[in-house]
Amino acid sequence: MKIKKDIVSCKTCVYRTLLFGCLNDIEYNLVNNGRKEIEYKRGERIKSEGEEIDSFLYLRKGLVKIFKTGNQGKDHILSINKPGDFISLLHIFSNETYTYNIEALEKTLVCEVELSIINYLIESNGDFAKTVIKRMGRIADEIIDNRFRQSQKQIKGRVASILLFFAEQIYHSNTFSLPVTRREIGELISMTTENTIRTLSGFNNDGIIRMEGKKVELINVDMLRRISENG
Amino acid sequence: MKIKKDIVSCKTCVYRTLLFGCLNDIEYNLVNNGRKEIEYKRGERIKSEGEEIDSFLYLRKGLVKIFKTGNQGKDHILSINKPGDFISLLHIFSNETYTYNIEALEKTLVCEVELSIINYLIESNGDFAKTVIKRMGRIADEIIDNRFRQSQKQIKGRVASILLFFAEQIYHSNTFSLPVTRREIGELISMTTENTIRTLSGFNNDGIIRMEGKKVELINVDMLRRISENG
DNA sequence: CGCGGCTTTGATGTTCATCAAGTAAAGTGG
DNA sequence: CCACTTTACTTGATGAACATCAAAGCCGCG
C-alpha cells in the first residue's frame, strides 16, 4: 500500500454527489482535510477481521472483495465492490472492529475519511444523516437480497448470475477478463472450486460462453439470463 | 387486527431508551401523537411485499416472522423478532415499498409511528440520527452474520442452533412451546420440512431433546451447542 | 528450474430433496 | 356438535446435486 500525496479536492471528485452532495464549503474542507488516499496492489489486504474501525472508506478506483473466513478455513465472499461503493458503510457505526476482510482484486485506490468527522457531520447536518441512512439501507438490502436469490439457485444459476454480474455491473461488456480465480468464484457462490470449474466448462462446451484462462466472452446472454433466473 | 385506543405514553414505554432515549419533551409528544398501537392475532399478516412503507414499526409484545416468498412459492424466513425489535428498520429509508412480509406468530402488539415524524427527527436531532444508524447497522450485521453462519452448517447444526435460539433468545428457558410449525423451522434454516422433522426426531431419539408436539425440552444443551458449532 | 498455487477431469460418497403414503390435529360449515 | 376438509406431522424409499478425494498438466515466480 502507498499513501498518496497531492490528492485532488473532494469538490472535484466524481463520487461527491453520492454522499457528500449536501455539504457546505466548511464541511467539505473538514472532509478534505481529514482524509487520505491509499493505493493498494492486487492481492493486498485493505482491512482484516478484528482490525479497529477508525475511518470511513470508499472506493475511488479498482475492485475489491469483501469476505469472511469460515470454520474450516474456507472463505466466503460477501460482495465484490467497484468504484463509488462505500466499502465500510455497513457496520462502521455499530461495531468497534471489522467483522470481515477487504482485499484488492486489482490496483485499487481507497479514500479514507476519519470516522470522527463523519460522525460530526451526521450529528450536525440532518441531510447528510439521511443520505447516510438511505445508502446504508440500500447496501444492506442488496447483500441480503443477493444472498436470498442465490440461495434459491443451484450451481448453474449461480455461475450464470456471476458471469452476468461481471458483464453488466462491472465491465459493461460481454467480453472481459475475470478479476478473480475460479476458487474465488466458488467462494462467491458457496460452491467448491471443482464444481465451479465443471459448470464453467459446461457453459463453454455448450457454446453459451467462450472461455480461455481468465478471458471470457458471453456468447448467448439470453440463455445465461434464463439459466440465472430459472435454476 | 385491532387498533387500540387509550394507549400509554411513550415516556413510560419499556422500550423508550432503545431508540427514543435522546428526545426532549416536545419531540416525545410528536412521536406520541403520531403513533398507533395495533394488535394482531396469530397468523395475521402485518405487512406484505409490495405494500407502501409509510410508518416505522416496532414490536411491543408478541412474536413475528419476517419472510420472503421465493420462486417456487417456498417461503424463506429471514428472522424471527421479539419485543423491542424494530421490525421495519432495515429498509424503510431506502425503499418505497416492503420487499418482505411480516406475520404475527402469536398475539402481537405493534407500535406504528408515522414515517414523516421519524424523518423529521433524524434531520433535526443529531443524536437521534446516530442512534438510528447504529441500530440499523446492528440489525443488518445480525442478519448477514446469521445467514453466513447458517450457510456453513449442515442440517443438524442448523436445527440445533434454532432450538438454542428459541431457548436462549426468546424464552430464556430450556422448556418451551414452539411458536412455529415444523415447516416454518424448515423455512428458517432453508431445508425441507421432511428433513427438518427427521433431524428433530433424531435429537429426540438420541435423548438430546424431549419433544412432544410443540412442547420441547432441551436435555443436553452442551451437546446441542457442540452440534450447532461443529456441523 | 523447481515449487506452490491455479486449473482441470474423473471416480466415489454424502447430504439432502423429492415422491409417496399414512396418521394426527385443527379448522369449517351445516 | 359432528362430519368434512384442510393442514400439520411423520417415516420410508429413491434419486439428484454437490462435496470430496485423487491425479495430472499448467503457469508464474523466486
Q: Are residues A126 and A76 in the same domain?
A: yes
* Cβ within 8 Å, pair B138-A91: yes
* Cβ within 8 Å, pair B144-A148: no
Q: Are residues B94 and B194 in the same domain?
A: no
Query: How far does the CA of A198 sit from the C1' of C8, in Å?
Result: 8
- Residue in A90, A94, A137 closest to B93 by CB: A137
- Amino acid A93: pLDDT: 85
* Cβ within 8 Å, pair A144-B140: yes
Q: How many domains does chain B have?
A: 2
Give the residue from A149, A182, A200 where a domain finishes: A149
Distance from CA of A139 to the nearest CA of B (A): 9
Q: Are residues A139 and A179 in the same domain?
A: no
Where residue A110 sits, what CATH number does that domain have? 2.60.120.10
Cα atoms in the 13 Å half-sphere on the side-chain side of A99: 19
Q: Are residues A216 and A176 in the same domain?
A: yes
Q: Are residues B129 and B174 in the same domain?
A: no
Given a cut of 70, the residues of chain A with pLDDT beneath it are: 6-7
Taking CB atoms and an 8 Å cutoff, what residues of chain A touch B230? 71
In the predicted model, is pLDDT for residue B127 greater than 70? yes
- CA closest to D26 C1', residue: A213
Q: Are residues B141 and B202 in the same domain?
A: no
What residue numbers bound the domain in which A191 lies?
153-230
Give the residue from A149, A183, A211 where a domain finishes: A149
Q: Are residues B64 and B103 in the same domain?
A: yes
Q: Are residues A101 and A181 in the same domain?
A: no
* Cβ within 8 Å, pair B130-A152: no
Q: Are residues B144 and B163 in the same domain?
A: no
Q: Are residues A179 and A121 in the same domain?
A: no
Taking CB atoms and an 8 Å cutoff, what residues of chain B touch A139? 140
List chain C nucleotides near protein: any atom < 7 Å from a Cβ. Answer: 6-11, 15-20, 25-26
Give the residue from B126, B149, B172 where a domain finishes: B149
pLDDT in tens, B138-171: 998 898 899 999 999 999 999 999 999 999 999 9
Query: How far does the CA of A194 sit from the C1' of D20, in Å?
Result: 10
In the predicted model, is pLDDT for residue B228 greater than 80? yes
Average pLDDT of span B111-128:
94
- Amino acid A73: pLDDT: 78
Cβ pairs A/B, distance under 8 A: 123
Average pLDDT of chain B? 92
In the predicted model, is pLDDT for residue B6 greater than 70? no
Average pLDDT of span B73-78:
90
Q: Are residues B19 and B6 in the same domain?
A: yes
Where residue A220 sits, what CATH number does that domain have? 1.10.10.10
- pTM assigned to the model: 0.92
pLDDT band for B194, please (50, 70, 90 cuts): very high
pLDDT in tens, B85-103: 999 877 788 889 999 999 9
Q: Are residues A83 and A194 in the same domain?
A: no
